[in-house]
Structure 1
């Protein structure tokens, strides 16, 4: 993660404590805050007033003004100013770009989606398209760059702690992450990260891994990618390479880093070509042109024997992938995430049947994500929100040190 902040002046720890509490709750009183933070009443009230002056808290009408009549002096009520700034999450995929703008509570304000024309794709043009998608989403939300507190962008490439992607023999990393830390340097808080890692953030925040401290989010559509969480921490590695799946090119029974969707499409075409499926059947029609993996899954669900064979074959590959990941990272759970998760249950059921029972460690639980194609942008928003919580006071006090 990178920031464009100047050093903020020292401040009382009570400001951080009260702001953290405000971010985690709805409206509250000084009594609520002091009970949650352990601060004294006077310190709590001073912190609440200071945060209100900064514009991070808003004072609400008191109980009498709100119609909740009580005896005695009504308590002052405060709340986080969710509209004080905005967050931006971006899924900058190989072909599809999604940019979402939210308020500080991660409530969506606007989303823009863009499809890249790949034969015209180059690093500089790609950076401009991603930046334009963000600006368009901000416009749709009625906000501007000046309103952004934190932005997080997910890319399909390794990303190190500085937000940079290592050199790639074919230039893939540099093209997928064309200096995006610099592109978005206008934002106070910037995080560029691997898309599978952000999928893992999403699954842990609002998805199939809530409450789980050891899990893997497996993006498995066109290419394999894994976001790995161990002891509650997303693993990165020296160059951001944890979760890169090229090693599966050397694993018997897997053979490539192609995703499950890509395999289904290729094997559907092969089944027609080698006569395993009737050239006049539905699978042949699906396999013509650009085969759709979801159509193969739907055909298998309808009982087509050739499609069912493909599902079983893909399930066996998934089982081998899960077994290897299980032996490497010892996760409690593996979540099949991304657009391919919609309708993939039959493959997961087949994979569960194929999981070996003689592993040195218990096999991970294999589940399907419910977050669909927006899992990466959901994780990007969650990551931007987490960074905003940590850095908001630094930003505000650098702007207004008084």
Structure 2
């Protein structure tokens, strides 16, 4: 809210204070605002009236008209306007695309998830992302000039300008094909962020998140590739190029050897056990190896039901995960490591095996290892939460400033 006060002078600081209060207040009265902002009654009422005149706040029927009047003069009631605009959250993964249109407070208007062709060129991928955002806006009947903020999560490090560094095989440039520049005219605030960082945002902000109230944690995206969103002392860690938590480090760790995630690890361990004769090809797990790709959900479900072959595989993958979490624990000293993504829904057999090994992997106390409850939409939820925060802290204060200046 400092933008309002800073742009219009200290006389408008009260407007910023009341606007900040209104985001969390729901329906409120001037007395409610006074109690939180410590402003005088006359200053509070003046600030409220200023925001009402700018269509940032709306005045509701008073207590008598609302049916809750008891005695005395009925209080005026206010709430943040429901017509400020929308926010857009996008999860642009390597093989999927999810687009969410939401209001700036709590309601989702549209959410669509679809597959992406990983063979698309950067130009094709960018066009697809922009096209799907446009289609979702059209579905809600929202013109582009009503977007307050956009946040896109991508499977790449991203610097503070929304640009990914070059990758030896061009992967990062393809997963983030110039999205900051392509979207810069779509909204007052456009943010391109690493997907694991947004998973960390979701785990710390969603009511179902595993890190509510926790100041030190890692959200570990672990399905197709490993990547960590790191929070230390309540602050998201970013780095010069957005590379904090980048999974390529695991290419160099003995006992891991790859940044590929748990889905790949389960595939590889099943194939290896069959080839070594530890699992027969005619067993339930052995037959899974006949497919081009071992279904990780099938292996995890079998392990949960007590199948000994599946337990062998998940035990070995758990040892790999324990090594990964040990590295993260030694580097960042988190209280929790939360395994995120679609794999989290059934990953408990792997986590159970990892928990037994984890204390041997680091000298510090081992972090709590748990599965996310946010499923495949964890990055989408983080993107929407980040867009809402950008709307609150930057876009709506700017909107208020423009409307007040126009007056």
- TM-score normalised over the length of structure 1: 0.95
Does structure 1 residue 249 correspond to structure 2 residue 251? yes
Does structure 1 residue 293 correspond to structure 2 residue 296? yes
Does structure 1 residue 397 correspond to structure 2 residue 401? yes
Task: Provide the aligned C-alpha RMSD in A.
Answer: 1.5
Q: Deviations over 1:114-140 (max 9, x none)?
A: 212233x11111111111111122222
Measured after TM superposition, the shift of residue 44 of structure 1 is: 0.8
Corresponding residue SS for 1:355 = helix
Measured after TM superposition, the shift of residue 53 of structure 1 is: 1.7
1:249 and 1:159 map into 2 onto residues whose CA distance is: 20
Corresponding residue SS for 2:205 = helix
- Total equivalences in the alignment: 395
Corresponding residue SS for 1:39 = coil
Any conservation in 1 of the 2:359–2:365 contact (CA below 8 Å)? no
Comparing both structures, which one devotes a greater share of its residues to helix? 2
Match of 1:198 in 2: 198
Measured after TM superposition, the shift of residue 360 of structure 1 is: 2.8
* 1:386 counterpart (384, 389, 407): 389
1:112 and 1:270 map into 2 onto residues whose CA distance is: 38
Corresponding residue SS for 1:252 = coil
Any conservation in 2 of the 1:83–1:104 contact (CA below 8 Å)? no
* 1:330 counterpart (325, 333, 340): 333
Q: Deviations over 1:64-95 (max 9, x none)?
A: 11111222221000011233211111000001
1:44 and 1:151 map into 2 onto residues whose CA distance is: 32
Question: For the structure 1 residues 118 and 359, does the alpha-carbon distance in structure 2 shift closer, same or farther, using more than 3 Å as the test?
Answer: closer
Q: Deviations over 1:269-305 (max 9, x none)?
A: 2323332222122213323122211110011122222
Q: Which runs of 4+ in 1 moved over 6 A?
A: none
Corresponding residue SS for 1:23 = helix
Match of 1:372 in 2: 375
Any conservation in 2 of the 1:106–1:381 contact (CA below 8 Å)? no
Measured after TM superposition, the shift of residue 37 of structure 1 is: 0.6
Any conservation in 2 of the 1:213–1:232 contact (CA below 8 Å)? yes
Does structure 1 residue 308 correspond to structure 2 residue 311? yes
Any conservation in 1 of the 2:96–2:113 contact (CA below 8 Å)? yes
1:164 and 1:358 map into 2 onto residues whose CA distance is: 35
User: Which ranges in structure 2 are unaligned for 5 or more consecutive residues?
Assistant: 1-5
Match of 2:355 in 1: 352
Measured after TM superposition, the shift of residue 399 of structure 1 is: 5.2
1:367 and 1:25 map into 2 onto residues whose CA distance is: 33
1:146 and 1:221 map into 2 onto residues whose CA distance is: 36
2:228 and 2:377 map into 1 onto residues whose CA distance is: 16
Question: For the structure 1 residues 31 and 184, does the alpha-carbon distance in structure 2 shift closer, same or farther, using more than 3 Å as the test?
Answer: same
Q: Deviations over 1:215-244 (max 9, x none)?
A: 000000111000001111111101111010
- TM-score normalised over the length of structure 2: 0.94
Measured after TM superposition, the shift of residue 100 of structure 1 is: 0.5
Measured after TM superposition, the shift of residue 176 of structure 1 is: 0.9
Corresponding residue SS for 2:219 = strand
1:75-86 aligned within 5 A: 75-86=75-86
1:268-287 aligned within 5 A: 268-287=270-289
Match of 1:221 in 2: 223
Between 263-272 and 8-17, the greater mean CA deviation after superposition: 8-17
Any conservation in 1 of the 2:329–2:362 contact (CA below 8 Å)? no
1:246 and 1:358 map into 2 onto residues whose CA distance is: 19
Match of 2:3 in 1: none
Corresponding residue SS for 1:28 = coil
Any conservation in 2 of the 1:106–1:382 contact (CA below 8 Å)? no
Question: For the structure 1 residues 395 and 216, does the alpha-carbon distance in structure 2 shift closer, same or farther, using more than 3 Å as the test?
Answer: same
1:274 and 1:293 map into 2 onto residues whose CA distance is: 20
